[in-house]
Amino acid sequence: MDAEFYTRFEESFRGSQDEIRQRLTIYQPALDVLQATCAQRDALDLGCGRGEWLGMLRGYGLQARGVDANPAMVAIAREQGLAVDEGDALAELAAQADHSLALVSGFHIAEHLAFEELQMLIKEAFRALAPGGMLLLETPNPENLQVGLWSFHVDPTHRSPLPPGLLEFVARDAGFPRPLVLRLNGPPAPTNDAALSERLPWAMTAYPDYAILAQKRCADGTVAELAELTHIISGRSGGVELLEHNLTELARRVENLEEELQRLRSERWWHRLTDRVRTACAVLQEQYLGRAALRRNMARAVRSASAIPWIRRPVALIVRPFPGLRGQLLRLSVQSQPPIRRYARNEDFEELLPPRPASVRLSSLDQRDALVPRHALQERLHHIAIDGHFVGSYSLAVVNRNIVHRLRADYPEFSLTIHPREGEPVQHLRPVPGGPAEADSLEALISTQPTTTPGVCLYHHFPPVNDPDRTRATPIALFSWEESRVRDDMIDTLNHSYAGVVVTSWFVKKVLMDSGCTLPIHVITLPLRPDPRARQSSVGDLARAQQRGSVHLLHVSSCFPRKAPDVLLEAFDALAARLDNVHLTIKTFPNPHNRIEDWVREFVSEAHRHRVHIILDDYDADTMAGLYREADAVVLPTRGEGLNLPAIEAGEHRRPLIVTGAGAHTDFATAENAWWIRYRFDRSGSHLLSSDSVWTDPSPEHLTDVLTEVCHALLAGDRRVEARPQKLHDDMVARFFSARASDSLLSALARIHSFYQAGRLRHLRDQPLSVSLLTTWGEACGVAEYSRSIADEFRTLGDAVDILAPRQRPTAAGWTPLEDVSVIDAWSYGETPDLRTCHPQTEIIWIQHHPGFYRLNDTLRHGIASLNHRGHSVFLTLHNTRDLIAHDTAAVEDVATCLTVCDRVFVHTLDDLNNLKRIGISDNTVLMPHGVNEPTADLPGPSSDGLVIGTFGFLLPHKGTDQLIAAFAGLNEPKARLRLVTAVRDDPISRHELQHCRRIAERHGVADRIDWYTDFLPHSEVERLLAGCHMVVMPYQHTHESSSGAVTVALAACPDVATTPAPIFDPVRDATHAIDGFDSGAIHYVLQQLRAGFDPEVRARVHAGRGRWLDGHRWSALAKRYRAQLLATHVNGTYETLDQAESLRSDF
């Protein structure tokens, strides 16, 4: 970054030098102590900037000097006569002699460092400080809402926020006995008698900075008390504690009132006071924002806090002596728990870059819109049959009836029959919305005899018909799905019984391919009949909202959890608190998954419930059209859609559509004709749950904001709000209601029929795949091990694999080559591979990427595009996504643009999916977990001589090995052994961590009971060592890594694995024992449970979870999933290429 720019940035955002000097006076008590204990020692200020702190130190008579990497800042400081060097702060600190400094300080430098660098800085400071010397680090305080939400990210050079508890722990862990946390700056705290309404705004902006002040023990072993600073800390903590007390007291008062009301209701004279009590309740609700809303908001706060381990553990210790309070907190934490949603981080809903379409999506939609001439359709499709649901208002039946009516109208010359079934074939179609006339018309098409004319049969039934007749007609399925993965049994039915699949969106095509459907899949425009009643609606109707002074919102759905009724109601409750003239109508129907009335009581404050109108009755077409006509906007938050008919109906009626920005509907409901709700990916919770399936969870906060925007526009009579619904209507008419929709369906049927009859599908499926893996190879590297496992399994499946490996790569000890796998030197570390010059002999190129290898940029993008143009499919696995999105906007743009040209981007965790979604990439991303090898059956288990505790992974500061050593020491088991299978990397951070851990072991007196394995070992040796442990502990601390290969190895080898609350272990929670924290005390508690013998039910539950996890994550199973996806892409790529060529021929 340009130094002059950053200097101007600093001046603009941090404040003037005079302001900074005034803030620094708070540290005077610490400087007084240094004058008395270390006056003859130097002070070193890291990242000294303009030198305000150096000037203050000089005024205290300390020999102070600074170092800064910004030459412009150095020049300013030198102009003031200050001793400042230009250079790297960490290097300068490392160059200092042991015990040579009185003070090491750094103001707003910690947040600019990688976490490993920060740990090293603090450890080096401890080494360089003289006895009695001090470390002072000041940094932004993410406890402050403004800092945590946005102001921290204003500085483009910031890395990650550092919670005070984390920085305090790192300082204490480095050897500082009693680090002080001093919260700084911001508005003055309200007085003790201030009202809660004054304290809440203050709490939002209080203490935007904090400092860690840590003193090394003096020569006599003491530490200065710093009484004045301790008093300041106590006072500032007291402000927060008083706020907490006020909130707790408020909750207690509400609880007492509830109990009192409950008692009163049991009295016989209750009816005399009903009116009076209702009045009192109304007053209380108005004063406290509603009793239900208050309890719900407090419950959310408790759940959010409990999800943060460094908050949860101290709170647990505090409330342990008070069982009543503990019970109340536990009850509160489960109250108002949403029926569907899990705890969500705000960052998961953010959009760093707008969504961008992937090339594979665009090519599929181009194929959709490339139509076969009518005469060619007549030659190819001699007869069409439609098999599936036709009765009632079920969406599949609605679609089937629409297809029949449209084909009869648009292609009357075609031979058309229907085969109705509702699980089994039926002959009578009652009821249908069109009454007896429509039923008679459809029944006339029922074929009782199989036709002798060859043709196509379109099956549209749920579940898919598993025995279609392939002898007389080409069976093709019309399929919809709402989540990221289709059940295996359905995929098996499609693959073995059908010739192809037609779908109504790219989303469903992608889901089928990602689930292993290896048929040609064709996106179509679904032919629908226009509703003549919709002509009575116009955008001019929207002016009535201003005229009547109110807005009427409409939601139409089954209210399955997938339809996000909880999000809708939570957002409406917040909207109703902002606007007193909005109303919500929910049109739904009774079903086992619909708890809409309970959810209204759960999510909508009592004061707002009268504005929610629920309709459970079955409406005819006229009445439904009336609902749309009376609505001012249609609101459809959804977690997944295979089509979304209500969104189409909203467009047909020219109503503003507010809908989740993901799902099948985004093919027609775009950001230009609808309002998109932001979302995040989350594990699916639907009744159709598939393993590893995810859905899209819309943000209630963003939905509230969008509703507020639309309602304000409607109430203000802003005519601009009419543009999107009018465009949506025009797009619906052109797409679904024109003759081109029937052409689209028949074109797809004709192309799949020809592809199938020519035997091309059978030929593609029978051929082995040929794959080139661009990856690290033969090295002490997790990605290399990952690639080896893939290559080995693909060879077992009969496919050809070669390796595009880095030049000048080291070979790990014990690495053995794979037979029949050629290795080609193809790229170099630090240089993005130029695939334009690559001429692989394989059909598929599969790139394994880590940010440490090379950048994702235009060079790689052009290379992938070149391979695609030459007929190759290109896949990319990202083994780390956090670092990809942590760069400046231009670099992130390069990453996003590069990823759009890949056929698929494989990632390992939900965190990865959401990271890519934030930079606009979701069209081609697939969640694929880490794989594990088959456990070796004859491996010896742990001995009975004594407990053996193990851990596994590279030895790095964030792995928490030092905490495990301390926990093991507290076990006080003379025969116990600690087995550290922790390879030391060839870098200073890893080597330094080894020295640190050895010192910890010596300090605790357990060095002779630890077995160190610091070399990179072959997998078989690692498996043997871990299998000999009674438990493997993964004590990871805070890390930005998005997945852990080490924990998968541990789970495969050892039945009992324990994990910290680090999010990196979320995918294995059900298969591991939980460590309730990150420190040695939490780990020690789990080790004590192991020694005492786990509760049998707990252990059985963990072992059952491990068994399920192993079944789905063995390399043999994952390789088959990967292969099916690669084959699906190869089949569809060939199908689209041949289709394009054939569509150019006039005779088809």
Query: Has this prediction a pTM greater than 0.75?
Result: no
Segment 1050-1062 mean pLDDT: 93
The C-alpha atoms of residue 207 and residue 765 are separated, in whole angstroms, by 64
Segment 354-362 mean pLDDT: 96
The answer to whether the CB of 675 falls within 8 A of the CB of 653 is no
Q: Which pair of tokens denotes residue 424?
A: 């089994």
Model pLDDT, residue 320: 47
Strands, E assignment, 783-903:
800-806, 822-827, 844-849, 873-878
The answer to whether the CB of 961 falls within 8 A of the CB of 993 is yes
Model pLDDT, residue 188: 77
Give Cα separations from 22 to 43, 103, 1087 (angstroms). 20, 20, 50
Residue holding tokens 């800092």? 147
Q: Is the pLDDT of residue 319 over 80?
A: no
Residue holding tokens 């790569």? 809
Helix (H) or strand (E) holding 35: helix 28-37
Q: Is the pLDDT of residue 351 over 60?
A: yes
Q: Is the pLDDT of residue 926 over 90?
A: yes
Model pLDDT, residue 302: 54
Segment 266-284 mean pLDDT: 46
Write down the H helix ranges in 469-589: 488-497, 506-514, 544-548, 565-578
Label residue 258 by pLDDT band (50, 70, 90).
low
Q: Is the pLDDT of residue 272 over 70?
A: no
The answer to whether the CB of 233 falls within 8 A of the CB of 207 is no
Q: Which pair of tokens denotes residue 842?
A: 């394989």
Sign of CA dihedral 745, 746, 751, 756: positive
Model pLDDT, residue 160: 86
Q: What is the pLDDT of residues 858-887, one digit of tens each?
A: 999 999 999 999 999 999 999 988 888 877
Q: Is the pLDDT of residue 799 over 90?
A: yes
Q: What is the pLDDT of residues 539-584, one digit of tens each?
A: 999 999 999 999 999 999 999 999 999 999 999 999 999 999 999 9
Paired strand residues for 683: 694
Q: Is the pLDDT of residue 343 over 60?
A: no
Model pLDDT, residue 14: 56
> What 3-state class would DSSP assign to 191?
coil
Q: Is the pLDDT of residue 373 over 80?
A: yes
The answer to whether the CB of 779 falls within 8 A of the CB of 810 is yes
Q: Which residue has the higher pLDDT, 314 or 886?
A: 886
Model pLDDT, residue 7: 55
The answer to whether the CB of 258 falls within 8 A of the CB of 292 is no
Give Cα separations from 1078 to 960, 993, 1057, 1063, 1087 (angstroms). 8, 17, 15, 12, 14
**Lowest pLDDT segment from 73-82, 89-98, 681-690, 765-774:** 681-690
Give Cα separations from 470 to 376, 449, 478, 747 (angstroms). 23, 15, 16, 20
Model pLDDT, residue 348: 86
Segment 108-125 mean pLDDT: 92
- CA 176 from chain centre, in angstroms, equals 37
Q: Is the pLDDT of residue 447 over 70?
A: yes
Q: Which pair of tokens denotes residue 202?
A: 């203050």
Helix (H) or strand (E) holding 774: strand 770-774
Q: Which pair of tokens denotes residue 287?
A: 């004063």
Q: Which pair of tokens denotes residue 401?
A: 């009836």
Q: What is the pLDDT of residues 809-832, one digit of tens each?
A: 888 877 888 988 999 999 999 899
Label residue 1018 by pLDDT band (50, 70, 90).
confident
- DSSP states of 320-344 as a string? TT-HHHHHHHHHHHHTT--SSPPP-
- Report percent pLDDT > 70 for the chain: 84
Q: Is the pLDDT of residue 244 over 80?
A: no
Q: Which residue has the higher pLDDT, 247 or 729?
A: 729
The C-alpha atoms of residue 522 and residue 596 are separated, in whole angstroms, by 36
The C-alpha atoms of residue 789 and residue 440 are separated, in whole angstroms, by 60
- CA 747 from chain centre, in angstroms, equals 38
**Lowest pLDDT segment from 36-40, 87-91, 148-152, 495-499:** 36-40
Segment 933-942 mean pLDDT: 77
Model pLDDT, residue 590: 86
Model pLDDT, residue 249: 57
Segment 1054-1064 mean pLDDT: 90
Model pLDDT, residue 196: 58
Label residue 333 by pLDDT band (50, 70, 90).
very low
The C-alpha atoms of residue 267 and residue 155 are separated, in whole angstroms, by 63
Model pLDDT, residue 852: 86
What's the whole-number average pLDDT of the chain?
Answer: 85
Q: Which pair of tokens denotes residue 1140?
A: 């394009």
- Report percent pLDDT > 90 for the chain: 57
**Lowest pLDDT segment from 503-507, 589-593, 951-955, 1070-1074:** 589-593
Model pLDDT, residue 335: 40
**Which pairing describes strands 129-140 and 209-215: parallel, antiparallel, or unpaired?**
antiparallel
Q: Is the pLDDT of residue 440 over 70?
A: yes
Q: Is the pLDDT of residue 287 over 60?
A: no
Model pLDDT, residue 293: 47
Highest mean predicted confidence (pLDDT) among 276-280, 821-825, 934-938: 821-825
Q: What is the pLDDT of residues 718-769, one digit of tens each?
A: 999 999 999 999 999 999 999 999 999 999 999 999 999 999 999 999 999 9
Residue of 1100, 954, 939 whose CA lies nearest to 1028: 939
Q: Which residue has the higher pLDDT, 713 or 303?
A: 713
181: amino acid identity, one letter: V
Q: What is the pLDDT of residues 292-309, one digit of tens each?
A: 444 445 555 554 555 444
Write down the H helix ranges in 970-1044: 988-1004, 1019-1027
The answer to whether the CB of 706 falls within 8 A of the CB of 1126 is no
Residue of 640, 637, 614 whose CA lies nearest to 568: 637
Beta-carbon contacts of residue 726 (< 8 Å; ≥ 6 apart): 539, 654
